[in-house]
Structure 1
Amino acid sequence: MQAALKMLRLRSRITPLCLQSVRSASTAAASRNESFATLEDKDRNFFREVLGDSNVITDTDALQPLNEDWMGKYAGKSKLALRPKSTEQVSKVLAYCNDRRLAIVPQGGNTGLVGGSIPLFDEVILLTAGLNQVISFDAVSGTLVCQAGCILEHLDSQVSAQGFTMPLDLGAKGSCQIGGNVSTNAGGLRLLRYGSLHGSVLGIEAVLADGTVVDALQTLRKDNTGYDLKQLFIGSEGTLGVVTAVSLLCPPRSSSVHVCYLAVPDFATTQKVFVKARQRLGEILSAFEFFDQQALDLTLKHLEGIRNPLPDTQTPFYLVVETSGSNEEHDNEKLQSFLEEVMEEEMVLDGTIAQDSAQIAGIWGIREGISVALKHAGPVYKYDLSIPVAEMYDLVEETRQRMAHLPVEVVGYGHLGDGNLHLNVSCQKYDDEILRHIEPFVYEWTAARRGSISAEHGLGQMKAECIRYTKPQPVVDLMLQVKNTFDPNGILNPYKVLPQVMAVAQ
């Protein structure tokens, strides 16, 4: 057997990270809520009685990575982290914190991009990693029930053994936790096929600020009795309650998966290719991703082991198209027909189809590696936006023009299939002058097109003050009413999601 299999080529005509902490414009005005208590010895003693000494973390070195996000952009000053092992322990911790008015920040895998799981000040960090048990899996319905601290990739491996797959796939799947995924309504690479977690989550167990356990951990697909309360916790980023367990509907794992990597001449053509993909691939189309040449160059430069599938081709845009089905012959025939059509119509300049799982992983490694490569390149300002597909890349080009005189690299990539742009500005250091050229321009540009300033990353501390760019004031007011009902003392993940001035004023 050859050491490496060549990919099938399709041609039309010719065959060091800065750890400087920064606050964005959206969080610059944040100040500590003085109604919150400060930590005392009696508090630490109580937590040790409930959790045991080993699950109460006070060591400065151990706290340091919990106080910082993986990008080195956000940093807090928490002096205490707690690691409960059961819902009962979470309930006791929250009830105590609520009585004492100790602010608390839930933290899962700490893979977020908007500072949602990082304290701003001295909030207590509540780690969900100890809640890591799979409770049950129904191999008939595909229903998984598990605790919030289970790692996404581990769950996918477990359900895969029984012929199913997780309805969510992220670049951070090796470390992100399902509770955090649900709490942020994470989107991922295959939302085009499986939809958002609002549809995949069947039930939730959560603990409110006063310690009340909300047991809505149903496994039924149809339940029309009263309000669907679980939906409030999906995407609430830990501000309404701490998710401790979830039940999810896992789809059958596809036995026939194909991935192709295509080079296209301009962004308008990427849209034409997407329309053809939906028409010709239909029900087997599972992902449609795009990235620009700048993103590819950064990834090839900063990540070892990444290879360019089209080394002889350079073009402004690249696509990763995936199909997932159950009939290899049928799926391959549909994919080949689609590719022949887009090649004949000169939409695609060059392309390649992965011939085995290693090559599939290699292609996905480029797309999933962009975010990591940007981190290696230096500090980065990241924006996650929903924009009408026809105008997605206009924002990248306009941002590039605005910042042409600054020492930055503007990169655009994302989920073309659901209109989600990831705009990234890579630089050598976080700088107010750079930020002034990005914000509020990016938010105003998005709002003018009735887009969303957060497509899948959430608001966290980065965008809490900017929610009005997407939501009108009456909607924000209603959200605040919900927050005050579930968490009247405001101890759960404060300074996040909702504008601080409004929250403090209540």
Structure 2
Amino acid sequence: MSPHLSLLRNLPKYLRPSAPRSSIRPLGRALHGTSIAFAGHLPPRNAGFKKIEEQDRAFFRSILPEQAVRTSDLGPFNTDWMNKYHGKSDLVLFPRTTEQVSKILKHCNDNSIAVVPQGGNTGLVGGGVPVYDELILNMSAMNKIRHFDSASGVVVCDAGCILESLEETLGAEGFITPLDLGAKGSCHIGGNVATNAGGLRFLRYGSLHGSVMGLEVVTADGTILDNLSILHKDNTGYDLKQLFIGSEGTLGIITGVSIWTPPKPKSVKVALVGLDSFKNVQATYEKTKTHLNEILSAFEFWDKESLKLVLSHSIQGTRDPFDDQYPFYVLIETHGSNAEHDDAKLQGLLEDLMEGGEVVDGVVAQDESQSQSLWGLRESIPEACSKAGAVYKYDVSMPQSVLYQLVEDMREHMRSKGALGSKVTDVIGYGHVGDGNLHLNISAPKYTDEVQSLIEPFVYEWIQGHRGSISAEHGLGVMKGAVLPYSKSPEMIGYMRKIKEAFDPKGILNPYKYLPLTESK
């Protein structure tokens, strides 16, 4: 046994459990009273869209309860949770049925009224809030679980079900959702599907493109597409549901979701290790795949700057589990069915890593509360960034070999421009090593055009040069629609436009977003 392995046996007693992971919510607060409206990012309002009139409100009141038509105190619905994007809608509707959604969209399409679908409003690219005065279609009142089949593990539910509530209901049946997010207490499953959210356990349970069995969608003209299949195999015709997964409400409004759910793991193990280089992070991942293979559920990394930010703001009562701070940290989680077997595999991995020199130090959680404490370090990073001031978030993917190089290059770029330490507070990196997904965060005292111009197009040109993606899991929204050509060819974008026009010829669904704008749209 390695002489260092004793370090991995028990979590330090002073590391107390933080608040439960599911209690983490978006902040929903102003960042130093600033807002953002970067030059060139917002197109002019489409004059072809009708402004909502009293006769439109009267129609909506004829099909919805009075309390489901809201015309005042709309600030929270017009603003994203980072206080970065702001719309000016004066009407929010809360439909309760798919039929109501259908009638609303038919009226909007007939009258050229632009619509923005909204879930829990936890997005990071401005996809769920208006750009101008679009009608907001909030799905929170559609929150019922319609059916659960324990034999197949498939649940059918409304789009407005909160992910955490869905998980609690499934947990009582011995199942979990295949998706796990820090914002699970606020986000909606329909919004998760509409953005193709990736989450923390992508390694084990994969993409929503694989776990979603079927969808119920209302298109722009009010047509209801009912494909709430519970079948694992259905090879009949084009798989239209795949078009709506990740389409961010630009092709239709998701009202119902049929999704496969895995059995709740009988054994969950969590370890946190400290490393002295990103090269060793990569080597650790290679060994982890070999040792843990079928039980590996998460492999998360963050840098020293991320941890310092979390500790400096005392997020969720987090504490440093180590005596010394290391350049990099990796959290490893397993989901299995035999605790003794899983523990032996994890200990074998950690011993190999310590003897091989990839890992300098580490701890293993001994119970669920300690697991929550270790996860708290990772999930508190976004909140810590926001508490530090304005934060420019870039969710990108690239080959694993250059995953952290972007963070280092961005720091050097800011330093060369004389911005690091003045206009830019810090540059940090964290994310999902297994799927090449980096979360690059640049914190600054406030949002300004000057800082944005330092970041863009540098970040997108860097990604393009490494054949990466400008959005790994957060989507495009209003933030990235215009820069889609950095990731997709003109031919690909051209076919995307044809699909958009086929489903929404008037362009009323979530306009000004997702695709590069044309003069007519």
Alpha-carbon distance in structure 2 between the residues aligned to 1:23 and 1:398: 27
1:505 aligns with 2:490: no
Q: Equivalent residues in 2 for 1:459-498 (5 A)? A: 459-498=476-515
Give the match for residue 250 of structure 1: 261
Q: Equivalent residues in 2 for 1:341-356 (5 A)? A: 341-356=352-367
Which residue type is aligned with residue 434 of structure 2? G
Give the match for residue 402 of structure 1: 413
1:365 aligns with 2:366: no
Residue 229 (structure 1) shift: 0.4
Residues 179-229 of structure 1, C-alpha deviation per residue, up to 9 Å, x if partnerless? 000000000000011110000000000000000000011110000000000
Q: CA 1:119 to 1:151, structure 2 compared with 1: closer, same or farther past 3 Å?
A: same
- Could you tell me which of 423, 428, 444 is aligned with 1:411? 428
Q: Equivalent residues in 2 for 1:175-254 (5 A)? A: 175-254=186-265
The question of whether the paired residues in 2 share the 8 Å contact of 1:169 and 1:188 is answered with yes
The question of whether the paired residues in 2 share the 8 Å contact of 1:299 and 1:306 is answered with no
The question of whether the paired residues in 2 share the 8 Å contact of 1:10 and 1:350 is answered with no
The alignment partner of 1:479 has SS state of: helix
Alpha-carbon distance in structure 2 between the residues aligned to 1:198 and 1:29: 30
When normalised by structure 2's length, the TM-score is 0.93
Alpha-carbon distance in structure 2 between the residues aligned to 1:164 and 1:199: 17
Alpha-carbon distance in structure 2 between the residues aligned to 1:155 and 1:300: 31
The worse-fitting range, judged by mean Cα deviation, of 141-150 and 155-164 is 155-164
- Could you tell me which of 22, 27, 36 is aligned with 1:22? 36
Residue 10 (structure 1) shift: 8.9
Q: CA 1:24 to 1:189, structure 2 compared with 1: closer, same or farther past 3 Å?
A: farther
The question of whether the paired residues in 1 share the 8 Å contact of 2:266 and 2:338 is answered with yes
Alpha-carbon distance in structure 2 between the residues aligned to 1:481 and 1:352: 53
The alignment partner of 1:412 has SS state of: strand
* Residue-pair matches, total: 492
Any stretches of 5+ residues in structure 2 without a counterpart? Answer: 1-6, 13-29
Q: CA 1:196 to 1:19, structure 2 compared with 1: closer, same or farther past 3 Å?
A: farther
Residues 467-488 of structure 1, C-alpha deviation per residue, up to 9 Å, x if partnerless? 1100100000000000000000
The question of whether the paired residues in 1 share the 8 Å contact of 2:477 and 2:514 is answered with yes
Which residue type is aligned with residue 497 of structure 1? Y
Residue 308 (structure 1) shift: 3.0
Which residue type is aligned with residue 361 of structure 2? D
Alpha-carbon distance in structure 1 between the residues aligned to 2:123 and 2:322: 33
The alignment partner of 1:116 has SS state of: coil
Alpha-carbon distance in structure 2 between the residues aligned to 1:17 and 1:29: 21
Alpha-carbon distance in structure 2 between the residues aligned to 1:168 and 1:498: 26
Alpha-carbon distance in structure 1 between the residues aligned to 2:370 and 2:271: 10
Which residue type is aligned with residue 494 of structure 1? P
Q: Equivalent residues in 2 for 1:240-389 (5 A)? A: 240-389=251-400
Residue 29 (structure 1) shift: 4.5
Give the match for residue 85 of structure 1: 96
Which residue type is aligned with residue 227 of structure 1? Y
Alpha-carbon distance in structure 2 between the residues aligned to 1:35 and 1:278: 54
Give the match for residue 100 of structure 1: 111
Q: Equivalent residues in 2 for 1:404-443 (5 A)? A: 404=415, 405-406=418-419, 407=422, 408=424, 409-443=426-460
- Could you tell me which of 25, 48, 53 is aligned with 2:61? 48
Alpha-carbon distance in structure 1 between the residues aligned to 2:263 and 2:243: 27
Give the match for residue 3 of structure 1: none
Which residue type is aligned with residue 337 of structure 2? S
Backbone CA RMSD of aligned residues: 1.4
Which residue type is aligned with residue 338 of structure 1? L
Which residue type is aligned with residue 180 of structure 2? D
Residue 243 (structure 1) shift: 0.1
Alpha-carbon distance in structure 2 between the residues aligned to 1:29 and 1:367: 33
Alpha-carbon distance in structure 2 between the residues aligned to 1:259 and 1:332: 10
Residue 8 (structure 1) shift: 2.9
Any stretches of 5+ residues in structure 1 without a counterpart? Answer: 1-5
When normalised by structure 1's length, the TM-score is 0.95
Aligned-pair identity in percent equals: 54
Alpha-carbon distance in structure 1 between the residues aligned to 2:97 and 2:327: 50
Residue 460 (structure 1) shift: 0.2
Residue 390 (structure 1) shift: 1.1
Alpha-carbon distance in structure 2 between the residues aligned to 1:110 and 1:316: 34
Alpha-carbon distance in structure 1 between the residues aligned to 2:157 and 2:312: 39
1:58 aligns with 2:43: no
The alignment partner of 1:400 has SS state of: helix
Residues 223-267 of structure 1, C-alpha deviation per residue, up to 9 Å, x if partnerless? 000000000000000000000000000011101000001100011
Which residue type is aligned with residue 469 of structure 1? Y
- Point out 4+ residue stretches in structure 1 off by more than 6 angstroms: none
The question of whether the paired residues in 2 share the 8 Å contact of 1:19 and 1:73 is answered with no
Residues 276-296 of structure 1, C-alpha deviation per residue, up to 9 Å, x if partnerless? 000010100000000001111
Q: CA 1:24 to 1:193, structure 2 compared with 1: closer, same or farther past 3 Å?
A: farther
Alpha-carbon distance in structure 1 between the residues aligned to 2:64 and 2:32: 36
The alignment partner of 1:396 has SS state of: helix
The worse-fitting range, judged by mean Cα deviation, of 307-316 and 224-233 is 307-316
The question of whether the paired residues in 2 share the 8 Å contact of 1:7 and 1:355 is answered with no
The question of whether the paired residues in 2 share the 8 Å contact of 1:299 and 1:373 is answered with yes
